[in-house]
Amino acid sequence: MRAAPRPPSYPEPVLAVSAAIQVLLAGFLVFLILMHSGRDAGFGGMGFTPASQGGQHIVERNLTRLTCVVAVLFAINSIALFYLL
């Protein structure tokens, strides 16, 4: 009977760095999502957005873009960790 093939072995630093990046991305993603809360709730109501209507729309649009980028990076890193483990 043949032994099962061993999965490829990755160096521990690669796995450790990927795991650390995953934790940082998760925390940043939670923070960004809390920033999206309504005008009077969450971090969004604490005055991080400009008071003028014109500036507020630009900030919201950029915040949405940044949230999407971080979410995509989180998903890619999750897939990479899946294959590393």
DSSP label at residue 49: S
Q: Examine residue 7 and state whether it is found in any structural domain, yes or no.
A: no
Q: Examine residue 2 and state whether it is found in any structural domain, yes or no.
A: no
| pLDDT at 41 (0 to 100) | 52
Q: How many CA atoms lie within 13 A of 84 on its CB side?
A: 17
- Is residue 71's pLDDT more than 60? yes
Q: Examine residue 5 and state whether it is found in any structural domain, yes or no.
A: no
Q: Examine residue 3 and state whether it is found in any structural domain, yes or no.
A: no
Q: Examine residue 6 and state whether it is found in any structural domain, yes or no.
A: no
CA-to-CA distance for 13 and 43, rounded, in angstroms? 35
Q: Examine residue 37 and state whether it is found in any structural domain, yes or no.
A: yes
Q: 26-63 pLDDT, tens per residue? A: 999 999 999 886 665 555 555 555 555 556 688 888 99
Q: Examine residue 62 and state whether it is found in any structural domain, yes or no.
A: yes
Backbone angles phi, psi at 26, to 5 degrees: -65, -45
